[in-house]
Amino acid sequence: MPSADNPRRSERSRAAILQATQELIRELPYGKISIEGIAARAKVGKQTIYRWWRSKGALVVDALHEQNAAGAQEAMALPDTGDLAADMRLVLRATVDEFTSPDFEPLFRALSIESLQDPALQQQIVERIYRPQFEFVAARFRSAQDAGQVRPDADLAVAFELFMAPMFYRWQSGAHPLTHDHADAVVDLAMRALAP
Amino acid sequence: MPSADNPRRSERSRAAILQATQELIRELPYGKISIEGIAARAKVGKQTIYRWWRSKGALVVDALHEQNAAGAQEAMALPDTGDLAADMRLVLRATVDEFTSPDFEPLFRALSIESLQDPALQQQIVERIYRPQFEFVAARFRSAQDAGQVRPDADLAVAFELFMAPMFYRWQSGAHPLTHDHADAVVDLAMRALAP
């Protein structure tokens, strides 16, 4: 296949495949999306996809990663106004917006489904998505510890989960609405739990 | 099909289908399980399954529900020793045990995958699994409010998530280990957050 060995043409195919994946995830229930469907939308052969990705799940990780990268690495850094509660309210309200956004939510749903089905992919998600995000949060928490707003002995992974897990759980369970008011309530409780 | 109209034979088929579902979920990655495979294991025709269940997901909800029922409704009631922190440590340690148990974890994983793929099923899970469990927890929290261990104005759904969501998130993300020590740390933080 000489075409796939042409770097410019390869790059175009790769971008078309990732875009087709993002589009289809927004348009269809995840179970209805196949590698065949992605290939047809991207106007490439199935074998071109399998040349770069071992599964639909691996493709979803790259599609989300690219969307995040487009939204910019710097967006992952947390605001630092000196007031952790105010900053975390912004972060958790933005999380609510993402979990209720037609652009973001379907991709996140696809990622969660694939992660539950494929332990190797789950570990890739931890390395490529969870850890970089956690590092930014941990840096913000350390600055709050220096400011006397968080106990110096707090476990920062547990502290991160204290803010983020309730948002995630509420989204996934569907038992109660995800709103900005709810985000604020979670921040109040988490701050109380972490106070020196 | 006269056989399916014989109530005793129907009941035997139904039980065989649910047991085959539970067994296969423990044996195979969830994506490898099909209605055909369940029918073969249960020694029934595919059409017998579709007579009672509209999808693999609906079957998974009943399979988990039956396993819980076998484990008994009373197991859902929370201990009440008068010390909420001690009682929640027991509950969260038991949750860790379930999330790491080869009997329970694969069923819970299957349920999470199906719930993310099917909004109607998600709502069924809320009604049949989440709400009954929440009612037991809320009853225990109200007793802790009476005992002055939880703020009287606490939102009990948010309080429930404060304990449970970190366990769930840690299980699903796979970023950090789920241990009894972690359960204890979550209880300490949640109690601090909810203290009057």
Q: Quick check: A182 contacting B, CB < 8 Å?
A: yes
Residues A16 and B39: their CA atoms lie apart, in Å, by 40
The model's confidence at residue B177, banded by pLDDT at 50, 70 and 90, is very high
Classify residue B139: in a domain, yes or no: yes
Q: Are residues B101 and B22 in the same domain?
A: no
Q: Are residues B47 and B69 in the same domain?
A: no
Q: What is the mean pLDDT of residues B128-157?
A: 95
Classify residue B99: in a domain, yes or no: yes
pLDDT tens digits, one per residue of B6-59: 888 888 999 999 999 999 999 998 989 999 999 999 999 999 999 999 999 999
Q: Which residues of B touch A174 (CB under 8 A)?
A: 115, 119, 122-123, 126
Q: Are residues A78 and A172 in the same domain?
A: yes
Q: Are residues B33 and B89 in the same domain?
A: no
What range defines the domain where residue A132 resides? 64-194
ipTM of the predicted structure?
0.89
Q: Are residues A68 and A16 in the same domain?
A: no
Q: Which residue has the tokens 């790059």?
A: A11
Q: Are residues A110 and A178 in the same domain?
A: yes
CATH code at position A69: 1.10.357.10
Q: Are residues B46 and B87 in the same domain?
A: no
Q: How many domains does chain B have?
A: 2
Q: Which residue has the tokens 């707090």?
A: A154
- Residue to substitute from A33, A130, A161, A181, interface B, most B β-carbons within 10 A: A161
Q: Quick check: B50 contacting A, CB < 8 Å?
A: no
CATH code at position A27: 1.10.10.60
Q: Are residues B30 and B95 in the same domain?
A: no
The model's confidence at residue A35, banded by pLDDT at 50, 70 and 90, is very high
pLDDT tens digits, one per residue of A77-123: 889 999 999 999 999 999 999 999 998 899 999 999 999 999 999 99
Give B5 to chain A, closest Cα distance, Å.
34
Q: Are residues B89 and B23 in the same domain?
A: no
Burial of B125 (0-12, 13-18, 19+ CB in 10 A): buried
CB contact under 8 A, A113 and B113: yes
Which residue from A131, A173, A194 is facing B130, i.e. has the nearest CB? Answer: A173
Q: Are residues A70 and A26 in the same domain?
A: no
Tokens linked to A69: 């990268």
Q: Are residues B109 and B158 in the same domain?
A: yes
Classify residue B59: in a domain, yes or no: no
CB contact under 8 A, B189 and A158: yes
